[in-house]
Structure 1
Amino acid sequence: MLRKDRRKFLKWLTIITIFSSFLIILWMNQENNNNNSFPDKIPDGFGVNVHFNGDPIDVDLIEDAGFKIVRKDLFWDNVEKERGKYDFTKYDQLTNALIKEGIRPYYILAYSNTLYEANRSIVTKEGQEAFARYAEEATSRYKNKGIIWEIWNEPNIGFWEPKPNFNEYSSLVKKVSKVIKENDPSGVVVAPALSGLNEESLKWLEEIFKEGILDYIDAVSVHPYRVSNPETVGKDYQSLRELIDKYTNKEIAIISGEWGYSTAKGWNGLELTEKEQADYLVRMFFVNLLYDVPISIWYDWKNDGIDSNNGEHNFGLREHNVIKPKKGYMAINTLTYILSGYKLNERINIGDPDDYMLEFINENEDKVIVFWTSRNKQKTTLPLRVEGRVVSVLGEEKGYLKNKTTIELSSSPNYLILDN
């Protein structure tokens, strides 16, 4: 090859190499963006909170229910019982079991550790650095799995004692977020797992927003527990979005990281039957979708005890003996079976804000309409004629509607699977 031709060849080879490198970088960035994106198809954003470390029967049943996310505390004091020595054995079991079943882990980095801190909080420089090392160990060990990493749980109430100086918690978030993003680019960073979604809790949240934590997280996680029906959350989400927009121009998602209803007798003044809990569960998931909340975690997987009067013992979708399902389990199983692969397309206006008719659609243009009311049972006139079979919230076939323009709404959601 002539010297002139060789120079021309090397010049083009250099250009091609640079261009190829540029494409690879673009692809990698796109992959990271995909990893950090939030799901939009059912049931990819539906999850459940657990209190176990990977019992095979539980994981199998969770997968059978259709859940795609499992939220669990990754207790610091369980992992580091001696300074500088970390044992993740029990969490390895859970992580491996979840990943095997195609379930995304959602791990809470929590709480304090008496090796470094006197109280259930991080208030010293030594404690903060030690917590960051624990986070570094966890995120390095479980990297590249698309894990949702949550920094603490409900620091606005008793899970952080004494009550936090806003700077202390915010400083921890900033430090730990950097560790997570460096060690696990596939991960999603969320905080603060806010207890309650009301005027008081939003005032607390604004104080940490003032400290600038929105620049360090991918989503704001909240726990919108309430003793009213799930539909009442709409105005609270609106208040939260306005607060987020006040402090950042960044696109910040809202995650419902924990929310459930107990069937305990008289829990917070409520007397919910299993069936009513099941109705609320399904309505909660749908209402969250309606308000652009991409991830919803139900609390709890199974009853934590057998006392029918204890609120904490009765949040589960299954009994304390996990072999026995509650009606809530049947309801989530029905939801994920019927709507797997579907997206929320629109809310159909039927004239009353308390009446809900949501249209879901999949890639094949198949449509399912889910309908209920937050008031008393009633009939409503539809803006369209519908044909298809109706399935109850628990999966029971309720008949076939043909060329109908009226439909009966109740507090229990029904699925209308439309003919093509």
Structure 2
Amino acid sequence: MMGFGSWSAPATAQDLIAVTGHFLHHSRFYPQYGPYWRVDLTLPLVKELGVKTVHEAIYSLEAPQRALISGGKTDPATLRIVEENRRLVGQWLSTYDASGVKVVLAVLGLPPKTPREIAKNTEMFAWVTELVAAHPSVIAVQMHNEANLPQFWKATPEEYVDTYRPLAQAIKARRPDVRIVGGAISSLWWGPGIGWLKRAVDHGLLDFADSIAVHPYNVDSPPEVDPHWRGAPVTDPDQREKALQAFWKQIEGWNKTGKRLDLFFTEFGWNTATTGRAHVDEATQADYLARSFLIFQDVRLKGVPLRSAHWYDLKDDGEKDDKGEHRYGLVSYDLTRRKPAFQAMKALNAYFGQTDAFEVSKRRVEVSTPGAPVKVKSWRRKSDGAEVIAFWSTGLDGVQGGQAAATLRIDGIKAATGRLFFADERKPQSINLKAEGSGSAASVEATSRPQWIELPGR
């Protein structure tokens, strides 16, 4: 079995930076919602971001207006509704097909002890199989959502594996190229989630799953810290990276199939509500988004097979400022306003969107600062050898958002000038460097929002 250090993304791997959507959550299916999750309204935002992969979900719905399964009913009115609703879902996936945007499709079947569960899942899964076969935009199918939480799956991990095995087999028979994604646990190193996933693996999850999905929410912690992992102190500047690498090492240790697995983060984020857990102001949400993606990029380039990381979610799900679930979006509920996090993702995607166009730099970069801790990441662009050095103030000393004067010393490059980029709407600027020893040094002002310097490679 290969270690993650030897993993390299396939040539067709999707870009890392991705979003979560909810294309069922609008007034056609749920009268209490507005029209704003319609694909024709959200796809222009996805395109503006430059995002190439979205996560969508479909459920075993039976209520009259939104029914996607008949539930055994044979009356013509119910069958017409089911047919029309399925046609609409197919139409939305056809829109993604035509756009070139890829879809990780979560399918939520019914757990055991639900009335007529077997018959309903058989109906649902047969339709899903045809749907996936018909739509090339679907590159992965996630089996359920956060099944380690009772509100989403009122059954055991073993019953989860038994329920979804037939769907995985049917999809693979029609679309061998589609990744079967298992788990979708919340959160990364949270004990009940890890325990649930181990039981599922022991019961045969990896017999049919190609990938593991996780929702690595950090709750109230910043991006540099995994709040549930105890393998390194929170003061370790690389604690989050070590937690991510340790998680994947754990998955590889469980994998006795010999197959090459990979990883999806199909949800993560912080909300901008006024109260509750995981809430931050809008500027901090943008800071955390940018820092998270750069950390994820670094661990992917160092071998963790992370295919895509999906910010939860593209737009706000409601209008209540004091309800966290309503305020995770990059865009306001009615699509009229882009938050700073939208601009941060857009800037990151414009520069780093093709993750595998970069590789880990072998040059040594040292940082010295009399102020707050400054985190540094360095990569090399393959096409021209340009050195890219990202940096930001972590706030781990308790001075959240504080600026920090710093000097970056880059060994082996003699450069008088470079370009400074920002994770916001600003254009890049020139930055002067001075010769120092065998390399160059740049004086910078690190902030809680990442910046990065580009230096010519050759």
Alignment partner of 1:274 is 2:282? yes
In the alignment, which of 344, 362, 377 is matched to residue 357 of structure 1? 377
2:265 alignment partner, SS class: strand
TM-superposed deviation, 1:130: 4.0
Provide the residue aligned with 1:8 in structure 2: none
Distance 1:271 1:126, change over 3 A: closer
Deviation at 1:131, TM superposition (A): 4.5
1:389 pairs with 2:419: yes
Match of 1:263 in 2: 272
The reply on whether 1:137 has 2:130 as its aligned counterpart is yes
Seen in structure 2, the aligned counterparts of structure 1 residues 203 and 38 have a Cα distance that, compared at 3 Å, is farther
Counterpart of 2:407 (choices 380, 385, 391) is: 380
Q: 1:68 to 1:240 in 2, by over 3 A?
A: same
Report if the CA contact (8 A) 1:345-1:359 is conserved: yes
Specify the SS of the correspondent of 1:194: strand
Conserved 8 A contact 2:298-2:377: no
Q: SS of the residue aligned with 2:366?
A: coil
Q: Report the CA distance shift for 1:319/1:161 in structure 2 as closer, same or farther (over 3 A).
A: same
User: For residues 331 and 257 of structure 1, what CA distance do their matches in structure 2 show?
Assistant: 19
Query: Where in structure 2 are there 5+ consecutive unaligned residues?
Result: 1-8, 25-37, 62-66, 226-239, 301-305, 396-401, 435-440
Amino acid at match of 1:284: S
Structure 2 counterpart of 1:259, one-letter code: F
Instruction: List aligned pairs for 1:271-420, cutoff 5 A.
Output: 272-292=280-300, 293-341=306-354, 343-346=357-360, 349-350=365-366, 355-375=375-395, 377-378=403-404, 379-384=406-411, 386=415, 387-397=417-427, 399-404=429-434, 405-406=441-442, 407-419=444-456
TM-fit CA distance, 1:61:
1.4
Counterpart check, 1:200 vs 2:189: no
**Residue equivalent to 2:55:** 71
Report the equivalent of 2:114: 118
Structure number with bigger Rg: 1
Deviation at 1:304, TM superposition (A): 1.1
The 3-state SS of whatever aligns with 2:110 is coil
Spell out, residue by residue over 1:247-294, the C-alpha distance to the aligned partner (whole angstroms, 9 max, x if none). 2243211211100110111331x5522111111111111211222222
Say whether residues 1:242 and 2:238 are aligned partners. Answer: no
* Equivalent position SS for 1:279: helix
C-alpha distance in structure 2 between counterparts of 1:38 and 1:176, whole Å: 27
1:47/1:297 contact within 8 Å kept: yes
Which has the higher mean CA deviation after the structures are superposed, 220-229 or 350-359? 350-359
Shift of 1:413: 0.3
Secondary structure, counterpart of 1:158 in structure 2: coil
SS state of the match for residue 184, structure 2?
A: strand
Query: Per-residue deviation at 1:344?
Result: 3.5
Unaligned 5+ segments in structure 1 are: 1-35
SS in 2 for 1:350: strand
Q: Does the 8 A contact of 2:101 with 2:137 survive in 1?
A: no
CA separation of 1:155 and 1:310: change in aligned 2, threshold 3 A: same
On the 8 A contact 1:45/1:295 being kept in 2, the answer is yes
* Residue identity in the other structure for 2:69: E
**Match for 2:261: what amino acid?**
I
Matched, 1:251 2:265: no
Q: Per the alignment, in what secondary structure is the counterpart of residue 170 of structure 1?
A: helix
1:79-135 CA distances to partner (integer Å, 9 max, x unpaired)?
21353965322212321222222100111111339xx9637xx9x654554443243
Structure 1 residue 161 displacement after superposition: 4.1
Q: Does 1:80 align with 2:65?
A: no
Q: Could you tell me which residue of structure 2 aligns to residue 52 of structure 1?
A: 23
TM-score of the superposed pair, with normalisation by structure 2: 0.74
Q: Which amino acid aligns with 1:94?
A: W
- How much is the aligned-residue C-alpha RMSD, in angstroms? 2.8
Aligned-pair CA distance for 1:147: 2.1
Cα offset for 1:73? 0.8
Residues paired across the two proteins, number: 375
Q: Closer, same or farther in 2 for the Cα pair 1:360/1:339, shift >3 Å?
A: farther
Query: Cα 1:112–1:174, aligned 2, differ >3 Å: closer, same or farther?
Result: closer
1:363-407 Cα distance to aligned partner (Å, 9 max, x none)? 243443322232353313413355312122103146421224133
Cα separation, 1, equivalents of 2:242 and 2:12: 23
> Against the structure 1 CA distance between its residues 157 and 368, is the aligned structure 2 distance closer, same or farther, given a 3 Å change threshold?
same
Contact 2:185–2:193 at 8 Å: present in 1 too? yes
Alignment-mate amino acid for residue 18 of structure 2 = G
The alignment partner of 1:139 has SS state of: helix
Question: Structure 1 segments of 4 or more deviating over 4 A?
Answer: 36-41, 124-128, 351-354
- Asked whether the equivalents of residues 151 and 192 of structure 1 are also in contact (C-alpha less than 8 Å), the reply is yes
Go from structure 1 to structure 2 and tell me whether the alpha carbon gap of 1:373 and 1:60 turns closer, same or farther (over 3 Å shift): same
CA contact (8 A) 1:202 1:240 kept: no
